Structure 1
Amino acid sequence: MTDVKKRIIEEIKQWDSIIILRHVRPDPDAIGSQAGLKELILTFFPDKKVYLGGETEPSLSFLSEMDEISEETFEQSLVIACDTANTERIDDERYQKASKLIKIDHHPEVDRYGDIQWVSTDASSTCEMITELYLELSNDTPENDLARLLYAGIVADTGRFKFSNTTEKTFRYASFLINASFSRDEIHEKLYEKKRNVMKLEGFVLSNVDVMPSGAAAIKLTKSVLENYQVTSKDSSAIVNCFSTLEGLKAWVFFVEEEDIIRVRLRSKEPIINTLAEQYNGGGHPMASGASVATWEEADELIKKLNQLCEDAS
C-alpha cells in the first residue's frame, strides 16, 4: 500500500464522524468521487457516520443528494475534500472548523492545502483515484452503488473514454467496476440527456460560433440569449463540446453571462489552456479549464490570447 493512501485509510479509521466535500458547481466526477468515497468508507467501516456536504445539484441528484450538516458536526469530524484544486472552490467554508483536512484530487495543484494531500495529475478523474483506494483494501467486486458512482465519474471526466486523459489504468479500473450490477445504459442516458430548450440553444451556438483562421473559436452567451431560450448558466455547460468535432478546431471558449460575472469555459485539442485560465481567476486541466471575467472587453482580451495560443500551436 503506497504511503499516502495508507495514511488516508489509517486516518479514516481514527474518526467516528467524517464529512466529504467537493467543489462548487459540481460535475459528475465531483459528485461521484464524493459519494463514492462515502460508500467505500461504509463498505469497510460500517459503524462510521459519513456525511456529504455542499449544495445538492438537481441535475446530478440521480447520482446522490447532499446532507444537512451542523456546525457542531464539522467541529467533531474529519473532513475530506475531493476533486478540488484550491480552497476557494470547496463547497462549504465550514471545512475550516475541522481539526483535520484531507485533499484527494487529480487537478494540477493550485493550493497545497490539507494535513494530508493525495494529488495525482496522471489520473483521469478523482473517481479513478477512489477506485484505486478501494483496490488497496479489496480486490472483490464493489457494491453496486459504489461501482455506479465511480464509473459515472470516470465516464464523464474522460468524455466517454475519448479524451487524452484516458489511460490503460482507466480502462482497467472501468472494467473492474462494471463487474458490479448496475445499468451502464441508464448512467449514459442520465449523463448526456438534454432538455429541449438546451438543444435549441445548441442550434444557436452552432449557427453563431466565431471560428478564427488559427483554429480558435468563441461563443458569447449573454443573459438575453439565455433568457430567450429559458436556459440557465448551469444548463449551458451541457453543450460546451457541441462543436468539438469541427474540422481544424484547436481550442475554444464559451462565455456565459451571469448576474455578477461572465463565466468562462475553455477547452482545447492542442494548446495548453489552464495557464490562460489562471490569468482570469481560474484554472483546471491542460485541455479543460474554467475561469471568469468581469466585462465583455476582458472577454475579448482573453479571445485574443487564445487566438495567439492557437497560432503558436501551428
Structure 2
Amino acid sequence: MIIDQILEWIQKYETIIIHRHVRPDPDALGSQGGLACLIRDNFPEKKVYTVGEMTDSLRFLLPMDTPDDAVYANALVIVCDTANRERISDTRFGKGARLIKIDHHPVVDSYGDPEWVKTSASSTSEMITSIYGTHPELKMTESAARLLFAGIVGDTGRFQFSNVTSETFLAAAALVKHPFDRQAFFNNLYKRSLSLARLNGYVLQHFTLTEEGVGFIKLPLDLVRSFNLESSDASMLVNCFSDVEHLKAWVLFSEEEDLIRVRLRSKGPVINRLAEVYHGGGHPLAAGATVHGWEEADRLISDLQAICRQ
C-alpha cells in the first residue's frame, strides 16, 4: 500500500522538507501543514520544515520555514498538491535525497518516487487525513485537524462542489471530532478587506454573461490597483458571480506585470483541457491558465464559448 511506503520513507529520514504549489490556496497549505503536524506529532525526533512563499490572506493558517540549502542534504522532500514541477514553490525541491509526490490533480508531470496521486479525492488534505484512518496508531492533534479541515473546506467550496464524496464527509467528520475553533477558522478564511469588497461590487456590476452561458470579467492591473489591491487579491473573487442563473462556466482574468492570470470554473463543461492549451491545467471543473495579452484572453473566451455551446 502506497501510504505504508510513504510512512516507511518518513521513518527512514531525520530531516523532512515539505513543499507545495506557488500562490497557495487552503488545500496547498492545509495538506502541507497537516502532513508536517502528522510527522512532528508522531515522530518528534525528526526535523520538519514547511517552505514556500505565502499569501497574506492565508497567513493565519501556518508560518513558513526558511531552511538553508545545506538542510536539503540527505533530506526527504515531499511535495503536496502540485501537479507539475514548474508550479512547486521554492525550486530547491530537487536538492533532497528523495522526492515524494502527494496530489489529487490529474497527472500532467510524473515526478516523485513514490508518487501518490488520487484524482477521486476532493483534496490533497483529504488524502493526508486518510493516512490517519489507515493507521489508527497515529495520533491526531487539534493543529493537524484544523489544517486538514481547512484544505478540505477550501477545495470543496464548503462541501458544495461535485468533487465531494462520502469519503470527504467521513474525513471531515473525523477532523471535527477535535476541538479546534471552527468559528474562528471560518471567520479568518472568509473575511475580506473593504477594498476587496468594493472590487467585488465592481465585478458584479461589470462581468459579462454570453448566450452560451460563459461568464467572464477582465481586471487590468491599473484597475485593481485603483482599489488599493494587487492581482493576487483579485483572484479571490473568481466565484463571486458563480450563482448567476444560466451560467455554465466562468473565467476571471487578473493582469499582472508581464502576464494575465486566468481562473477557470465550471458547472459541467470540462475545462482543464482548455486550460492546458493556455499554459495551465487543473481539474475538470476548476483550472488555471496564463495568457499574454487581452487578444489571447479573447481567444480563450471564444474557445470556452464553443465548449459550452456543445
Runs (4+) of structure 1 moved beyond 4 Å?
Answer: none
| Other structure's SS at 2:116 match | strand
Determine if the alignment matches structure 1 residue 58 to structure 2 residue 77: no
Give the conservation status (yes or no) of the 8 Å contact 1:277–1:289. Answer: yes
Q: Among 291, 298, 303, which residue is 2:296 paired with?
A: 298
Task: Provide Cα deviations, 1:227-272, integer angstroms capped at 9, x if missing partner.
Answer: 1111111111221101111000000011001001001000000100
Partner in structure 1 of residue 206 of structure 2 = 208
Q: TM-score, normalised by structure 2?
A: 0.98
Residue 223 of structure 1: CA displacement? 1.2
Corresponding letter in the other structure for 1:145: S
| Other structure's SS at 2:216 match | strand
Root-mean-square deviation (CA, aligned residues, Å) is 1.0
Partner in structure 2 of residue 232 of structure 1 = 230
| Other structure's SS at 1:301 match | helix
| Other structure's SS at 1:189 match | helix
Q: Among 116, 119, 134, which residue is 2:117 paired with?
A: 119
Q: Distance in 2 between matches of 1:75 and 1:110?
A: 28
Determine if the alignment matches structure 1 residue 166 to structure 2 residue 164: yes
Partner in structure 1 of residue 305 of structure 2 = 307
Give the conservation status (yes or no) of the 8 Å contact 1:141–1:179. Answer: no
Give the conservation status (yes or no) of the 8 Å contact 1:141–1:176. Answer: no
Q: Distance in 2 between matches of 1:177 and 1:282?
A: 32
Partner in structure 2 of residue 24 of structure 1 = 22
Corresponding letter in the other structure for 1:82: C
Q: Distance in 1 between matches of 2:260 and 2:56?
A: 22
Partner in structure 2 of residue 71 of structure 1 = 69
Q: Distance in 2 between matches of 1:225 and 1:268?
A: 26
Aligned in 2, Cα 1:181/1:36: closer, same or farther, shift over 3 Å? same
Residue 137 of structure 1: CA displacement? 2.1
Corresponding letter in the other structure for 2:213: G
Partner in structure 1 of residue 240 of structure 2 = 242
Q: Distance in 1 between matches of 2:189 and 2:140?
A: 22
Q: Distance in 2 between matches of 1:273 and 1:257?
A: 21
| Other structure's SS at 1:270 match | coil
Structure 2: 5+ residue runs without aligned partners?
A: none
Q: TM-score, normalised by structure 1?
A: 0.97
Corresponding letter in the other structure for 1:115: D
| Other structure's SS at 2:140 match | coil
Structure 1: 5+ residue runs without aligned partners?
A: none
Q: Distance in 2 between matches of 1:214 and 1:44?
A: 52
Q: Distance in 1 between matches of 2:137 and 2:300?
A: 47
Q: Among 77, 80, 84, which residue is 2:82 paired with?
A: 84
